[in-house]
Amino acid sequence: MRLDKLLSDRGYGTRKEIKKLLSKQGVQIGDVTIKDPGYQVQPEDVVVFNGEVVSTERFSYYLFHKPAGCVCANEDHVHPTIFSYVPNPKNTLFSVGRLDLDTEGLLLITNDGQLAHALLSPRRHVDKVYFAKLSGAITDDDIKLFAEGVDIGDEKLCMPALLERANDRGDEIRITIKEGRFHQVKRMFEAVGKEVLYLKRESMGPFTLDEQLPAGSYRTLTEEELSYLQGFTNHTKE
């Protein structure tokens, strides 16, 4: 991989910014100072930039069906974590966003920080679809309010959300949101006097939870999904 691309992918700046930094200070690879942005970094190289060792590993991407009862953390002294299910031997993986302890469903796991930032940025308006069971039936007024933006006590209203009935009674729903605020879905329904009894994320952007993927299982992304990521983050996979 080109040196400037490696540093850019690891979040040290744009390719243009990296070239300027390299021309001034370079990086240390072994005992040699490298200033050439086109230098081809090998997997065995130890790259030191600004006093930090830069990982030369390729990015990993997993789609995980998070079960209820585990937390989105590398370690926890009370509950199992998502890495009780997904191997993380070098402790480099993390989840793209979080699901609550009692929430299950689709979770992306990676070591690609730029991807995580892009998918979670409100400016990107990435749709997240949840299925929920509620303590009471939604009304037409609820659907209208969600479409306008719900007040959950934050400085700003929630962005407009699509609320749909998933059964005839209206106590099972699907909701599409474009943000990821703290306990957002639960707080939105609390605002209209309903409790979320069960919550499952079914999709995030183009990623959909496989029906054949049991809770606690994971898979690598498909070529089509990886192709989407390439365009979404402007990465060129080596």
Digit-coded pLDDT (tens) for 103-116: 999 999 998 888 88
Question: Which position has the token pair 């308006």?
Answer: 125
In-domain check, residue 238:
no
More reliable by pLDDT, 69 or 114: 69
Any domain includes 50: yes
Is the pLDDT at 190 greater than 50? The verdict is yes
Query: What's the confidence (pLDDT) of residue 123?
Result: 76
pLDDT at 238: 39
If asked whether residues 131 and 116 sit together in one domain, one would say no
**pLDDT one-digit tens code per residue, 15-29:** 888 999 999 999 999
Contact 131, 166 (CB under 8 A): yes
Is residue 163 domain-resident? yes
Residues 197, 144 share a domain:
yes
Q: What is the mean pLDDT of the chain?
A: 90
pLDDT tens-digit profile of 140-159?
999 999 999 999 999 999 99
Whether residue 205 contacts residue 119, with contact meaning beta carbons closer than 8 Å, is answered with yes
**What CATH number does the domain containing 34 carry?**
3.10.290.10
Give me the pLDDT at residue 160, please: 97
- pLDDT-derived band at 35 (thresholds 50, 70, 90) equals very high
Verify that 152 and 186 share a domain, yes or no.
yes
Share of the chain above pLDDT 90, in %: 62
Assess whether 141 and 83 both reside in one domain: no
Question: Same structural domain for residues 50 and 71?
Answer: no
For position 25, what pLDDT does the model report?
A: 92
Highest mean pLDDT pick, 6-15, 37-46, 200-209: 200-209
Residues 107 and 142 in one domain: no
Q: Would you please indicate which residues are annotated as catalytic (active-site) residues? A: 100
Q: Is 87 within 8 Å of 72 (Cβ atoms)?
A: no
Could you tell me if 218 and 114 lie in one domain? yes
Pick from 59, 44, 51, 60: which is nearest to 5 by CA?
59
Residues 89 and 40 grouped into a single domain? no
CB 161 within 8 A of CB 144: no
Q: Are residues 164 and 192 in the same domain?
A: yes
Provide the CATH number for the domain around residue 216: 3.30.70.580
42-46, 164-168, 172-176: which range is least confident on average?
A: 42-46
Residue range 169-195: mean pLDDT, rounded: 96
| Structural domain containing residue 90 | 61-121+207-233
What percent of the chain is modeled with pLDDT above 70?
94
Q: Are 71 and 221 in contact (CB under 8 A)?
A: no
**Residues 34 and 140 grouped into a single domain:** no
What's the first-to-final CA gap in the chain, in angstroms? 6
The whole-number pLDDT of residue 115 equals 80
CA distance 230 to 202: 22
CATH number at 134 reads 3.30.70.1560
Q: 236 pLDDT band (50/70/90 cuts)?
A: very low
Picking from 54, 79, 97, the residue at the C-terminal end of a domain is 54
Angle between helices 223-233 and 113-120 (to 10 degrees): 80
